Structure 1
Amino acid sequence: MILPKKFIYDILPKSPVAFIGTLVDIVDHNQTGSLHSYDLTFENIQLLRGNIVQEKAFLYRKQSHPITEQNDEQRKLELKREYLACLNNSTTIHSLFEIDFINDAAELVQIAGLPVGWSKQTDEYFSPWKNHHRKWWSSSSDTFKNVPKCNDCQRPALTTGDSITMSVKRVDNKSQFELTVTNTSDKPVQIPALVCDKQSKIILWHDSIFVMSNLNNDQHFFPKTNESDEVECVELGPYQSISIILDITMLNNLILEQDDTDISLIFCLGEKSAEINL
Structure 2
Amino acid sequence: MKLLRTGPAGAERPVALREDGTHVDLSGVLAADTAWTFEDLDRARAALGSAPVVDVTGQRTGSPVPRPHAVVCIGLNYRDHAAETGAQVPAEPVVFLKIPSTVVGPFDEVLVPRGSTKTDYEVELGVVLGRTVRYLDSAEEGLAAVAGYVVSHDVSEREFQIERGGTWDKGKNCETFNPLGPWFVTADEVGDPSALGLRCWVDGELRQDGTTKDMVFGVGELVRYLSQFTVLEAGALINTGTPAGVALGQPDPKPYLRTGQVVECEIDGLGRMRQVLGAA
Bin for the TM-score computed over the shorter chain? under 0.3
Q: TM-score, normalised by structure 2?
A: 0.26
Q: Which has the higher strand share?
A: 1
Q: Which has the higher helix share?
A: 2
**Higher RCO (C-alpha 8 Å, min separation 6):** 2
